Homo-oligomer: A and B are copies of this chain.
């Protein structure tokens, strides 16, 4: 820890959490492109100067929001309400997982662009999603190479694929969801 930054004071950490929660809420309700440093500062009840001292720039804030959003989404998968969280049949959880991941990835595509890190992609996020789908496939009694099948289930939800479909081909989300449901049905053999 000798070379690391000094630990945040408790109130600074709370302040940071409040800002990220406000920014994430704005991103999810208004869309990334409508969220400015001013609106985040107002929503979080802090000065604009505080925001810039903490995150340096809109890019820096958006990178932190991206991280916060992924963490919040993983928490909903692991312990949120069903059918995304535990307590629903595995097939329902798998469908809820795909639809939720689709929506989250579309938001993340905008956040990655706003963070100025094109192509940024967390290996930990990929591993989490793959592990969860493998677990659900095994609960469903699917046999085969589950690592490969989970990869096949998740691949159409990749940002590059979704951006092609949504931004270039203007396909409605409902059609992408229905196509993904059909893929899952064929893979699971339900």
Question: How many chain A residues touch B (Cβ–Cβ < 8 Å)?
Answer: 32
Stretch at the interface among A48-56, A64-72, A77-85, A118-126: A118-126
**23 A-B pairs (CB sep. < 8 Å):** A118-B118, A119-B119, A121-B160, A126-B164, A145-B175, A147-B171, A147-B179, A148-B176, A148-B180, A148-B183, A149-B179, A149-B183, A151-B179, A152-B155, A152-B183, A155-B156, A155-B158, A155-B161, A158-B158, A160-B160, A183-B187, A186-B189, A187-B187
- What is A's interface to B at a CB cutoff of 8 Å? 118-119, 121, 123, 126, 144-145, 147-149, 151-152, 155-156, 158-161, 164-165, 168, 171, 175-176, 178-180, 182-183, 186-187, 189
